């Protein structure tokens, strides 16, 4: 039925008034008292506003959880006889289907002509309705829930009421959206404020005119100023020392006028107490959207302590490098695995190598010349043990005898270790001490060997005699063969005993003047046929103008024969057949030692050489590099004693797999008449 014009005008005025009142109530949702209220209270308040501005038996508000999508329904009624606050209601049948369609399709849905009237239970109180319209609470694709308007009219809402409610729901959706945005912005601001207040860096906000608007707690701690004291002050007056203010004022002014958005610089800051701090600043443009201006945010990192620590570290490193490079003795830094990390100039000089040939190489390769595949370098074993050690040793790679000091270097609180190795070239006095110590050791072993030899000599003679008697008495060939083996092994034991007695016996033969080259020639003549048969070449570089040596000729010849025998064995082991490098080189020269003159003989073979740990023990009694049964281990021990008795010295140098040199030094006759 059409309404009269007057009634339509009244109706429009009524709707306008209702809409104005509704907007007033909706705007109150933006008041401060509602900003922190939970979503449930906001939605119930929206339902109350709708219920209070219309003649509806009930208004329902459906809240959709953003986490799991579950629906929570509340019902309100304007009738004083019914509950006025939100009470949960159960959605069933057509009502539930209506809400789901409205939720999914985001469009207004309605049901009407419900006969008989349906009942909606609110807190055990029935509310009857014949129609229900569902309005989605949505704005800019942000869904906040659904509003249900219940009606007692069979046809539901009339067009005017429907239009009013559609506008009202749109306004409520906008208010809810604004409330959410405000809440999120506030949470973001609170989060940013918490970050600014807790960050361990200076954060200062400045206006386009350069005035400070924000000063975080770290800035207060570093500068000594409170935010109230620096607020609206010019930033250069607070953050920079006077001599740097003009420069950085121009720099930041240029940044604000240019297209660049960031700037980094380092400057000094003078605190309130007058102390200087060094700050790394990072400046970035901060637009003030509300005011339409552009400001600046300064992020500062206090690096004063770090710079002081770096300077102290650089000073310590410089001192260490100065000490390390000026050490006159070879010095190296190596890992526990034996890799050389650094070395001083003295090391390169002694090793006769450049830096690239030393750094990164194995400590054994540089100091010892390397070792065979199955051998273990004793020096690498000491490094792996991680203990300090001082030892006197011959270093083939550094071409001499050294007092080697190993000192572990720990890297701070870590377990990483390195070693400092300092090799001091031993003086003549230290060499004499070492020789004296070895002599005393050999003397003690000699006395023990003499006693053992005498104890063994008598029973071995008895064994030989009884074995000979058995061999003479029996006729069985097998038994006689066994007796022959007993006699051969007994004779071998007897020979070892004689060597022991010779090693320990005092030599009373008087020394005489001798020409060393003559002694060498006589020894070579004795073994020349044997060497020739083994295809071994003898190269002699004699110096017949050498002074006479004062020695026991027979003993020196015994030593030379023993040395040549060892060289022959090493050459045959490396070269079973003929070879151009299968040779022994013998040379003589003078060699001053302390205040006395000496003649030096060097015997070099190019055989298998010796391992470093073998060089340390070659003069020890019963130590032999030959396989079991091929050597007694007494040859070099006896030779050492003979050279010592003649007032001389003997030592060995070697490079594994390439060569070995035995050097013998004998005292010369200082009396010119005897030399003549």
Question: Could you read off the pLDDT of 179-235 as tens digits, one per residue?
Answer: 777 777 776 676 666 666 667 788 888 887 788 888 888 888 889 999 888 898 888
Residue 33 has pLDDT above 80, yes or no: no
3-state SS assignment for residue 291 = coil
Rounded-to-integer distance, Cα 304 and Cα 278, Å: 5
Domain count, the chain: 5
Distances (CA, A) of 186 to 37, 66, 193, 364, 377: 13, 19, 10, 69, 72
Domain boundary residue, one of 450, 469, 504: 504
**Domain co-membership, 493 together with 524:** no
Which has more pLDDT, 148 or 50? 148
Q: Domain span at residue 648?
A: 512-675
Q: What is the pLDDT of residue 44?
A: 78
Decide if 314 is inside a domain: no
Q: Say if CB 249 and CB 329 are below 8 A apart.
A: no
Helices (H) and strands (E) in the chain, counts: 20, 25
Domain boundary residue, one of 423, 456, 471: 423
In this structure, the strands spanning 331-335 and 212-215 are unpaired
**Domain co-membership, 449 together with 473:** yes
Decide if 195 is inside a domain: no
**Domain co-membership, 483 together with 383:** no
Residue 168 belongs to domain with CATH number? 3.30.450.40
Read off the DSSP letter of residue 655: E
**Domain co-membership, 300 together with 366:** no
Residue 488 belongs to domain with CATH number? 1.10.287
**Domain co-membership, 160 together with 225:** no
Q: What is the pLDDT of residue 676?
A: 46
**Sorting pLDDT into bands at 50, 70 and 90, what band is 604?**
very high
**Domain co-membership, 230 together with 361:** no
Domain boundary residue, one of 284, 307, 330: 307
Q: How many residues does the chain have?
A: 676
Which candidate, 549, 540, 555, 562, places its Cα nearest to that of 516?
A: 549
**Domain co-membership, 668 together with 644:** yes
Q: What integer best gives the mean pLDDT of the chain? A: 78
- Pull the structure tokens for residue 369: 């010349």
Residue 267 has pLDDT above 70, yes or no: yes
**Domain co-membership, 28 together with 177:** yes
Decide if 3 is inside a domain: no
Decide if 192 is inside a domain: no
Residue 119's contacts (CB-CB under 8 Å, 6 or more residues apart) are 126, 127, 128
- SS (HEC) of 226-247: CHHHHCCCEHHHHHCCHHHHHH
**Domain co-membership, 164 together with 249:** no
Which candidate, 374, 379, 442, 393, places its Cα nearest to that of 652?
A: 393
Residue 14 has pLDDT above 70, yes or no: no
Tokens 């014009």, located at residue: 5
Phi, psi of 293 (to 5 degrees): -120, 175
Residue 136's contacts (CB-CB under 8 Å, 6 or more residues apart) are 102, 103, 106, 107, 108, 143, 146, 147, 169
Decide if 1 is inside a domain: no
Task: Give whichever of 125-139, 193-207, 250-264, 432-446 has the largest mean pLDDT.
Answer: 125-139
**Domain co-membership, 156 together with 226:** no
**Domain co-membership, 627 together with 542:** yes
Question: Could you read off the pLDDT of 517-536 as tens digits, one per residue?
Answer: 888 887 887 778 788 888 88
Decide if 458 is inside a domain: yes
Residue 624 belongs to domain with CATH number? 3.30.565.10
pTM of the entire predicted model? 0.38
Decide if 117 is inside a domain: yes
Which candidate, 36, 20, 33, 35, places its Cα nearest to that of 171?
A: 20
Q: What is the pLDDT of residue 603?
A: 92
**Sorting pLDDT into bands at 50, 70 and 90, what band is 289?**
very low
Decide if 7 is inside a domain: no
**Domain co-membership, 648 together with 666:** yes
Letter string b/e over residues 249-267, b meaning 16 or more CB atoms within 10 A of that residue's CB:
beebeebeeeeeeebeeeb
Rounded-to-integer distance, Cα 198 and Cα 219, Å: 11
Which candidate, 30, 28, 21, 89, places its Cα nearest to that of 50?
A: 21
Q: Say if CB 621 and CB 637 are below 8 A apart.
A: yes
Residue 170 has pLDDT above 60, yes or no: yes
Rounded-to-integer distance, Cα 500 and Cα 302, Å: 79
Residue 375 belongs to domain with CATH number? 3.30.450.20
């Amino acid at each position: 039925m059409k309404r009269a014009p007057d009634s339509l005008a009244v109706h429009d005025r009524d709707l306008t008034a209702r809409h104005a009142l509704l907007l007033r109530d909706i705007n109150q949702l933006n008041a401060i008292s509602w900003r922190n209220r939970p979503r449930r209270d906001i939605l119930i308040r929206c339902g109350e506003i709708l219920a209070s501005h219309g003649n509806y038996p009930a208004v329902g508000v459906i809240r959709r959880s953003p986490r799991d999508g579950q629906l929570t329904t509340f019902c309100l009624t304007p009738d004083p006889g019914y509950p006025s606050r939100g009470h949960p209601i159960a959605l069933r049948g057509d009502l539930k289907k209506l809400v789901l369609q409205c939720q999914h399709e985001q469009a207004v849905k309605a049901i009407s002509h419900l006969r008989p009237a349906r009942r909606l239970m609110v807190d055990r109180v029935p509310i009857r309705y014949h129609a229900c319209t569902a309005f989605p609470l949505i704005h800019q694709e942000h869904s906040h829930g659904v509003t249900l308007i219940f009606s007692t009219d069979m046809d539901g809402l009339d067009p005017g009421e429907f239009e009013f409610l559609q506008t009202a729901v749109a306004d409520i959706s906008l208010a809810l959206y604004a409330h959410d945005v405000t809440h999120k912005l506030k949470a973001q601001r609170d989060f940013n404020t918490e970050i600014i207040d807790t960050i361990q860096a200076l954060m200062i906000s400045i206006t386009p005119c350069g005035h400070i608007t924000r000063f975080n707690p770290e800035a207060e701690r570093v500068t000594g100023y409170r935010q109230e004291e620096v607020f609206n002050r010019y930033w250069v007056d607070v953050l920079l020392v006077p001599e740097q203010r003009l420069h950085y004022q121009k720099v930041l002014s240029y940044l604000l006028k240019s297209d660049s958005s960031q700037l980094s610089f380092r400057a000094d800051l003078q605190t309130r107490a007058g102390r200087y701090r060094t700050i790394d600043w990072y400046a970035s443009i901060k637009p003030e959207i509300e005011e339409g201006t552009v400001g600046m945010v300064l992020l500062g990192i206090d690096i004063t302590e770090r710079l002081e620590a770096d300077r102290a570290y650089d000073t310590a490193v410089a001192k260490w490098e100065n000490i390390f490079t000026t050490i006159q003795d070879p010095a190296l830094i190596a890992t526990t695995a034996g890799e050389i990390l650094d070395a001083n100039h003295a090391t390169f000089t002694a090793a006769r190598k450049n830096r690239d040939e030393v750094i990164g190489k194995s400590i054994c390769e540089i100091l010892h010349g390397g070792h065979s595949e199955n051998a273990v370098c004793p020096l690498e074993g000491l490094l792996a043990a991680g203990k300090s050690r001082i030892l006197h040793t011959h270093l083939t790679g550094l071409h001499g005898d050294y007092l080697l000091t190993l000192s572990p270097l720990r890297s701070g609180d870590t377990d990483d270790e390195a070693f400092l190795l300092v090799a001091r070239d031993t003086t003549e006095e230290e060499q004499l001490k070492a020789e004296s110590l070895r002599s005393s050791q050999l003397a003690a072993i000699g006395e023990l060997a003499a006693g053992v030899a005498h104890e063994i000599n008598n029973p071995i003679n008895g064994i030989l005699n009884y074995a000979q008697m058995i061999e003479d008495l029996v006729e069985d060939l097998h038994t006689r063969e066994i007796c022959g083996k007993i006699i051969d092994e007994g004779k071998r034991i007897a020979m070892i005993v004689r060597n022991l007695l010779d090693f320990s016996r005092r030599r009373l033969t008087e020394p005489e003047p001798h020409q060393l080259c003559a002694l060498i020639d006589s020894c070579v003549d004795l073994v020349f046929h044997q060497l020739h048969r083994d295809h071994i070449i003898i190269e002699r570089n004699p110096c017949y103008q050498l002074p006479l040596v004062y020695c026991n000729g027979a003993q020196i010849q015994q030593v030379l024969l023993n040395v040549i025998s060892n060289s022959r064995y090493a050459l045959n082991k490396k070269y079973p057949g003929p070879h151009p490098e299968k040779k022994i080189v013998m040379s003589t020269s003078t060699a001053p030692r302390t205040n006395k003159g000496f003649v030096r003989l060097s015997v070099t073979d190019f055989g298998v050489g010796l391992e470093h740990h073998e060089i340390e023990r070659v003069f020890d009694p019963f130590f032999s590099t030959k396989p079991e049964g091929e050597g007694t281990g007494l040859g070099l021990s006896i030779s050492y004693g003979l050279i010592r008795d003649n007032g001389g010295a003997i030592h060995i140098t070697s490079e594994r797999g390439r060569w070995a040199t035995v050097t013998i030094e004998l005292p010369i006759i200082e009396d010119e008449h005897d030399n003549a």
